Amino acid sequence: MTTIAQTPARRAEQTAVPHSVYIALAIGILAGASAALSTKYALAEGASPLMIAFFRLSAATLLLTPIILAKYRDDLRTLTRRDLLLLSVGGIWMALHFVFWSASLAYASVLVATVIVCSSPIWTAIFEIAFLRARLTRMILIGLILAVGGNIVIALGSSADGGSNQALGGFIAMVAAIVIAAQRTVGRSLRLHIPLFPYLWLMYLAGTLTLLPIMLATQTPILGYTPSAYFWMFLLTLLPQLLGHGAFNYALGYFSATFTSLIIQTQPPIASAVAFFALGEVPSWLQVIGSGVIVAGVIMAIQGRRVASVAANLPPPPAGASPH
């Protein structure tokens, strides 16, 4: 049998990522950048961090349920016990992330909380190396360092305005970054063979069931908030929850968890721009410089991934990685 050697161009064609993935990431980044502002407004209307997290997960679960029952029953029947266990673990991590993320914004400014929570690539890389035996290329590592360094520069250039306790809020945001990194690491292996919508629905359902007993134990009310509070929580469900996290988890079917987390590093500069128009916060020169460093790091990581994919001759993602 004659073996035909594959050229780099052929290998690149095999590893080509659909344009829809990049479009989804762009939409997800823009939708996610609105999360901090909407959360701030919901907190100001009297909603607690626990209630905000519970509303996001439960509402997203309800919105996806008709789609799941209509089109994905067969996919649910094919899931193994291991799949369900990992989905449950991922849902718990996601639920904790939303609670800690909302709580961080009760103490820190939009920019500081967003910058620190976007440090998740550090933890994602650690988890992937420790548990998935991942190997990161030099360019991705350099891009990671640049992106995190740019976020540090942005944080140094921010004032104390907008937060009652920046140190406490920053610490809570760091915890939120760690748990979302754990969720993406778990989700990476699942997204390779589970379609997007069943994956999201089961993870949101697991998160809802995680927070429900906590809501009951703490006697956190579900009703009785102002119409504005419900509006901002619904906006959180529609934009960051369904579009944002949905897009990022869609990308996990094609990219590593570290790479996906690194792309999300573009959110702090966008959040800074949103804060400028919505709250009149004028970015400092350090924030502008840090934003440029982040963009440079992301570009380098993207180029590093392309080089690694061609060199490794990786197979294309399985059919199950794309939504039906």
pLDDT digits (tens, 9 = 90+) for 1-51: 334 344 343 333 345 788 888 898 888 888 888 888 899 899 999 999 999
Q: Is residue 119 in a domain?
A: yes
For 168, 213, 229, the CA distances from 40, given in Å and listed in that order, are: 16, 25, 10
CA 127 to chain centre: 15
Query: CA-based diameter of the chain, in Å?
Result: 73
Residue 171, token pair as written in the block = 């610490």
Which regions of the chain are under pLDDT 50? Answer: 1-14, 312-324
Q: Are 199 and 135 in contact (CB under 8 A)?
A: no
Q: Is residue 319 in a domain?
A: no
DSSP 193-235: TS-HHHHHHHHHHHHHHHHHHHHHHTT--SS---HHHHHHHHH
Q: Is residue 31 in a domain?
A: yes
Residue type at 54 in one-letter notation? F
DSSP 44-103: HTT--HHHHHHHHHHHHHHHHHHHHHHH-HHHHHT--HHHHHHHHHHHHHHHHHHHHHHH
- The count of structural domains within the chain is 1
Q: Are 17 and 254 in contact (CB under 8 A)?
A: yes
pLDDT of residue 324: 33
pLDDT of residue 56: 96
Q: Is residue 84 in a domain?
A: yes
| 56 vs 276: CA distance, rounded Å | 26
Q: pTM for the complete prediction?
A: 0.78
Q: Which residues span the domain enclosing 99?
A: 16-137+162-254
Q: Is residue 264 in a domain?
A: no
Q: Is residue 282 in a domain?
A: no
pLDDT of residue 8: 40
